[in-house]
Structure 1
């Protein structure tokens, strides 16, 4: 069975985009280097390939000379920064309720992470590990996620609390010991998983809620996340990657294979095993996206063509006629303006 391609929601990288703006760095250049269209950032709930998101973060840290970037961004990121998923988590009953929910539903936010709550005597560990099939180093992404969970624990912790232990998968970074909040923390590197140790008693503490959140809204948020979640199979996750890449023109198979963490030949072999071809899959994704856009009468045909990666709208019209026998405008009049 072919592995699925990990994806993550856009809101996961937005703190890093904001950081670029604050320091006056060339945001567009870094996004281009990671092959992330800036228009993809318009909706924080959009999906992007985790591989490209990690490339963006790692390149940013390297070129801006910020060795502790993942740590710094993680310490500044709150539940609210994770959009709809963060809102669900923020309204958990207790820390135990929150972490058990994350264990079960992290795939709604990203299909590239695994999170586990482990209890050992009077201690508890929240453990995080990335599941990326590429050779890219994940130092900053892992630090970012670990510090995010540290912030979650701080919601119910005593003001002076420090973790007894923190484990990192990454190699040793001495600068962590200069951060005041970890001055009394035992930090271990090159571990099997990223993890934070905290008192088991914290798990039963209540999370304070400052905004109303009805059950109807909770169910609405759950449904939205489930419908738009990263796919956990090879064909559908490939389709999600293709839809993300469409704005940049016809997605090259070499790039999609790279994102999938395999050679072009292996990628084609996996497609063939599913009874698919790359060209046909691109056409299917373009057609499905076109139909979605045509249902919105406020989106012009020329705008749809650009969204689907056609520089010349006439090429989109010809392709749509090849798929349906009619023009996009005729399709809209027949099926969408009821």
Structure 2
């Protein structure tokens, strides 16, 4: 049976989780340590993270704050226009109908994979659903209700800040208490469905922007590297190696665990792609080194440390092997 790797998402999809936890008596630093993710997620929202790790982070944050409805509550504090370049582009559409089309079209390339959006007409209403195609279960419901929060906020860009859906449907088991969720969403909640969704008046589809998007992305999405496509093994591996760089030199066991696989399976998958873990790491390091060297204000020693080298001389030798010249020579020759 083929190994299935986790989907990925940008850290921006967590919204204002740090400030939110501070207000609710939790420590995001402790949560990140417990789930073994870098603190860089908090100030670099463009970072790409395995989706299963976001599930785990939300589950741990819920335990940290003692809030069984953590994902739903966080979802009411998010801002769709500030959701990466993707959110700004979606919310710059003229009407809600156009915005939803953009949301569907750009989700898998700009923000998050292993995630599907569906829309269905039900008489005079519309049902908008979100589905996560991930085997991971811990924290899934928090992520689903966080996603519902973004969907609601997007509609409020067009319907106004006081708008609320007719009903929120969740994938929580039938019999799960609903009172707290109904208080958070300020509407009826129905549990026991195949996927989370919201239902609203179809007339809203033609509504124009009610408030100005908080980002100035304009009609075209900002230049931002796309997230790896589902099934693009090497690109997915590379993004997790880049994530590992924030904690030091990448380790194969860490990368495998974050992707929901084993060291042996990871090595086997890379072998079928005609490469190895060490070769992949070297390729990522070389690309990152060239990008960092383009910033003339960064000393070479700082670049070496950022890339996980404890000895700058080791970095210099590695870079000479990759480029045929030292980092300093490369920087001078490419300064134009």
* TM-score above 0.5, yes or no: yes
Describe the shift of the 1:30–1:72 C-alpha distance in structure 2 as closer, same or farther (beyond 3 A): same
Name 1:6's counterpart in structure 2: 7
Deviation at residue 264 of structure 1 after TM alignment: 2.3
Name 2:315's counterpart in structure 1: 316
Unaligned runs of 5+ in 1: none
Which deviates more, 175-184 or 254-263? 175-184
Unaligned runs of 5+ in 2: none
Name 1:149's counterpart in structure 2: 151
Deviation at residue 30 of structure 1 after TM alignment: 1.5
Which deviates more, 11-20 or 94-103? 11-20
Distance 2:293 2:181 in 1: 55
Name 2:52's counterpart in structure 1: 51
Describe the shift of the 1:301–1:15 C-alpha distance in structure 2 as closer, same or farther (beyond 3 A): same
Give the one of 171, 174, 177 matched to 1:174.
177
Deviation at residue 131 of structure 1 after TM alignment: 2.6
Q: For residues 52-91 of structure 1, what are the alpha-carbon distances to aligned partners after superposition, in whole Å with 9 as ceiling and x for unaligned?
A: 2222211010122111111111112122331422221222
Kept in 1, the 8 Å contact 2:160–2:211? The answer is no
Name 1:230's counterpart in structure 2: 227
Describe the shift of the 1:331–1:31 C-alpha distance in structure 2 as closer, same or farther (beyond 3 A): same
Q: For residues 132-171 of structure 1, what are the alpha-carbon distances to aligned partners after superposition, in whole Å with 9 as ceiling and x for unaligned?
A: 3435341211111112212323344478764333221233
Kept in 2, the 8 Å contact 1:9–1:45? The answer is yes
Deviation at residue 126 of structure 1 after TM alignment: 0.8
Alignment partner of 2:119: what SS?
A: strand
Q: For residues 152-201 of structure 1, what are the alpha-carbon distances to aligned partners after superposition, in whole Å with 9 as ceiling and x for unaligned?
A: 23344478764333221233541545644656524123x21111111222
More helix by share: 1
Root-mean-square deviation (CA, aligned residues, Å) is: 2.6
Kept in 2, the 8 Å contact 1:91–1:209? The answer is no
Name 1:67's counterpart in structure 2: 68
Alignment partner of 2:120: what SS?
A: strand
**1:97-246 to 2 correspondences below 5 Å:** 97-107=98-108, 108-157=110-159, 162-171=164-173, 173-177=176-180, 179-180=182-183, 185-189=188-192, 191-210=193-212, 217-219=218-220, 222-225=221-224, 228-232=225-229, 233-246=232-245
Q: What TM-score do you get using the length of structure 1 for normalisation?
A: 0.88
Describe the shift of the 1:212–1:285 C-alpha distance in structure 2 as closer, same or farther (beyond 3 A): closer
Name 1:299's counterpart in structure 2: 298
Kept in 2, the 8 Å contact 1:34–1:56? The answer is yes
Q: What TM-score do you get using the length of structure 2 for normalisation?
A: 0.88
Deviation at residue 34 of structure 1 after TM alignment: 2.2
Describe the shift of the 1:116–1:288 C-alpha distance in structure 2 as closer, same or farther (beyond 3 A): same
Kept in 1, the 8 Å contact 2:15–2:79? The answer is no
